[in-house]
């Protein structure tokens, strides 16, 4: 792994992202961990062919989730309202170069525009309550929490998470005198039109070495490629 753990997070747009193209992208990146949201069966099949471990749980529409891994790890489903999160606990005995256990949590918050609109703030708050209950069960664990939060830094959901965990992408950009790149929407005919940063990577006791925001063919989200230091 060369001193880093390479994690990719991608919303595959309910089956619209091209399965083989995404699998090839994962291979080219030499990813160690791949967190996917809105995972459809055909995408899960293609991803499983190049990432032999983990757990992929595809579903129709926007409920499919999964974590694909280069090496084995314990996978846990975190009960949340509306849509569960997933967590992988990486053990140093299986992951060369890892000094201590590291948890990767894959999150997909409910979109605020789902019908009925007036219920969505309560749904999203309940999802975060469930996530925080999981974090509080092992408060000192090293972890990265990433995925599609359907929230920009101006939104209450983001601010609640940012009070608990470090926005690793934002901290990395600010350290370099830059701003984080926006992730949505990705439109092939207008690649410059990315209005919002709603895909995030938060961390606790981990350090981000490098980040890249990259298109995924067929998806309306850009993926995050996160390199975490193994020190």
Distances (CA, A) of 24 to 65, 146, 230: 19, 22, 25
Q: What is the DSSP string of 95-130?
A: STT--S-EEEEEEEPPPTTSSSGGGHHHHHHHHHHH
pLDDT of res. 1: 43
Q: Residue 197, Cα to own-chain centre: how many angstroms? A: 13
Residues 22, 117: Cα–Cα separation, whole Å: 32
Residue 195: give the domain boundaries.
4-229
Pick the range with the lowest mean pLDDT from 28-42, 46-60, 112-126: 112-126
- Average pLDDT of the residues in 30-45: 98
Are the beta carbons of 161 and 128 closer than 8 angstroms?
Answer: yes
Query: Is residue 174's pLDDT more than 60?
Result: yes
pLDDT of res. 192: 65
3-class state of residue 219 by DSSP: coil
Within a 13 Å sphere around the CA of 139, how many CA atoms are in the beta-carbon half? 2
Distances (CA, A) of 122 to 25, 79, 119, 214, 221: 36, 16, 6, 32, 25
| Residues present in the chain in total | 231
pLDDT of res. 206: 97
pLDDT of res. 231: 78
The model's confidence at residue 117, banded by pLDDT at 50, 70 and 90, is: confident
Q: Which residue has the tokens 């894959």?
A: 106
Q: What is the 3-state secondary structure (H, E, C) of 150-194?
A: CCCCCCHHHHHHHHHCEEHHHHHHHHCCCCCCCCECCECCECCCC
List, for residues 48-91, the tens digit of each pLDDT value: 999 999 999 999 889 999 999 999 999 999 999 999 999 999 99
Query: Is residue 127's pLDDT more than 80?
Result: yes
- Average pLDDT of the residues in 19-36: 98
- CATH code, 149: 3.60.10.10
pLDDT of res. 190: 74
Number of domains in the chain: 1
């Amino acid at each position: 792994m060369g001193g880093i753990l390479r994690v990719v997070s991608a919303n595959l747009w309910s089956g619209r992202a091209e399965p083989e193209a995404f699998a090839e992208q994962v291979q080219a990146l030499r990813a160690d961990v791949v967190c996917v949201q809105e995972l459809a069966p055909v995408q899960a099949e293609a991803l499983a062919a190049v990432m032999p471990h983990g757990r992929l749980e595809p579903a129709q529409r926007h409920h499919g989730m999964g974590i694909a891994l280069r090496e084995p790890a314990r996978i846990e489903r975190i009960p949340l309202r509306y849509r569960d999160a997933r967590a992988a606990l990486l053990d140093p005995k299986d992951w060369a170069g890892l000094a201590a256990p590291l948890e990767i949590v894959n999150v997909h918050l409910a979109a605020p525009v789902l019908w009925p609109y007036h219920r969505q703030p309560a749904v999203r708050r309940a999802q975060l309550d469930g996530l925080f209950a999981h974090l509080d069960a092992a408060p000192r664990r090293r972890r990265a929490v990433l995925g599609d939060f359907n929230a920009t830094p101006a939104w209450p959901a983001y601010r609640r998470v940012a009070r608990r965990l470090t926005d690793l992408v934002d901290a990395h950009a600010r350290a370099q005198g830059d701003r984080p790149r926006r992730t949505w929407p990705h439109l092939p005919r207008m690649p410059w039109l990315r209005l919002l940063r709603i895909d995030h990577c938060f961390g606790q006791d981990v350090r981000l070495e490098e980040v890249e925001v990259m298109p995924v063919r067929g998806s309306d989200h850009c993926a995050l490629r996160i390199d975490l230091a193994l020190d």
